Structure 1
Amino acid sequence: MKSVDGRQWANREDLIEHSGYSRDTLRKLWSARKANGHPADREFDGVMHWDVQVWDAWFVRYRQRPRDLSRVDRSGDPDEQLAPAGQARVLGVDPSRITQYGKNPPPEWPDPVRVEELPTRTREYRTRAQLWAWVDNPISGFGTTGGRPSGPDPKIRAANEKAPDMRVRLAAEALAAEPGRKAGEVAEALAARHGQSVDTWKRLVTRARKLDQP
């Protein structure tokens, strides 16, 4: 923490320790600042900082937004591993929402417990317990109205699906830079550099490799 004129200012690392949330979650909150009202930053020595008192007050309001979780299905075996269609039924959303979450995960979206490799895509499995814990976490934004945290804007969904995934380009560049490196090692390096899980980057590395195949 940095003290300036009697006020505490936190950089990103400080906020991770202060809030208990991951770098990726805090990055998503900052990226959506126009929609969620995230406090502005101030640079000290070229590093972004946030007024801790202001950030805390905003975060309390953010977590206390009214949410509607009435469509969530709380029945069934908590440890059952569900494919995307089953995940959608538990959350009470259209299956396309789960597909979009795979491309642009919302804050704290759980990593899959199992990934099935299909000829043209991957299928991620999550448990009911994971999904219930996620929706019950206010930071997920699930069930809010008027904002993107509960899912992608339907008006731009088609455009997003057609747009190239820049993460695949990053994976392709990493593979080209070190062609002899194992896919898992490349994925670990990309996860450390850009955030998101190693499993997510493994799938992106696989997609990047397929682009180079005739």
Structure 2
Amino acid sequence: MKTVDGRQWANREDLIEHSGYGGTTLKRLWRDRRANGHPEPREIDGVMHWDLEEWARWFAQHRQRPRDLSGVDRSGEPDEQLPPAGQARLLGVDPARITQYAKNPPPEWPDPVRVEELRTRTREYRTRAQLWAWADNPVSGFGTKGGRPPGPDRKARAAQTPDPRVRLAAEALAAMPGRKAGEVAAALAERHGQSVHLWKRIITQARQEAQQ
């Protein structure tokens, strides 16, 4: 972190630590800057730096963009492995979108749990749980291109379908008292998949709900 004229300037490693998101995600956000309005950097000692206050304000707005996730199919077994066509049905998108993701993945797009080698191509399988977590992750940008949220009952629908990962995080916190959030997140990531950074955010949510 650099301080210039009283303002803090962060390089990409600083932004990773500040935001809790991985380097790949932040690189993709920078790559798509024309579409998402990512702040411009300033070169300091030959390295790109961003005004931390400006970047944090932009990032908060980016995460809170209105999203429509009403087309996501929440049924089925979380561990079921889906081929590309099944992934498209779950997300409510055209199968061509999944093909595009394989060539140019969006932020946080999950790695396949299994790859099937065919004669002319490979077929990647992902679980329902992976796809639900990705769609729910604001950084993915999924559901934003449709514009405004579907209506006033959106929050009510969300309340009726609580995130089961929050319960898993609460149970892990109770089972591992005194452990740091990062340690609990690492254990959850190893047990249930998804990134450590994602589980850290879920742990924070679980703690907040426990205090309500």
TM above 0.5, one fold?
A: yes
Q: Give the 5 Å matches for 1:61-80.
A: 61-80=61-80
1:14-73 deviation line (CA, Å, top 9, x unaligned): 111111111111111111111111111000011000011000000011011001111100
* Corresponding residue for residue 109 of structure 1: 109
2:58 and 2:95 map into 1 onto residues whose CA distance is 32
Give CA-to-partner distance per residue, 1:74-128, whole Å, 9 cap, x none.
0000000000010001000111110000000000000000111111111100000
Aligned counterpart, 2:50: 50
Residue segments in structure 2 that go unaligned for 5+ positions in a row: 148-212
The one-letter amino acid paired with 1:112 is: P
CA distance in 1, matches of 2:24, 2:48: 16
Structure 1 position 36 matched with structure 2 position 32: no
2:139 corresponds in structure 1 to: 139
- State TM-score, norm by structure 1: 0.67
| 2:88 aligned with 1:88 | yes
Question: Is 1:10 the equivalent of 2:10?
Answer: yes
Misfit runs of 4+, over 2 Å: none
Cα distance change, pair 70–32 in 1 and its aligned pair in 2 (3 A): same
Aligned residues: 147
The residue type paired with residue 57 of structure 1 is R
Q: Quote how far apart the aligned CAs of 1:146 are.
A: 6.6
Q: 1:146 to 1:49 in 2, by over 3 A?
A: farther
When normalised by structure 2's length, the TM-score is 0.68
Q: Give the aligned partner of residue 130 of structure 2.
A: 130
Pick closer, same or farther for the CA change 1:31–1:76 going to 2, 3 Å: same
How many angstroms apart in 2 are the aligned matches of 1:96 and 1:39?
31
User: Which amino acid is the alignment partner of residue 22 of structure 2?
Assistant: S
The 3 A distance-change label for structure 1 pair 31 and 146 is farther
2:120 partner amino acid: T
Report the CA distance shift for 1:132/1:146 in structure 2 as closer, same or farther (over 3 A).
closer
Q: CA RMSD in A?
A: 1.1
Structure 1 stretches lacking a partner, 5+ long: 148-214
1:129: how far off? Answer: 0.3
Amino acid at match of 2:8: Q
CA–CA separation in structure 1 for the residues paired with 2:101 and 2:77: 23
Letter in 2 for 1:70: S
Give secondary structure in 1 for the equivalent of 2:111: coil
Tell me by how many angstroms 1:134 deviates.
0.3
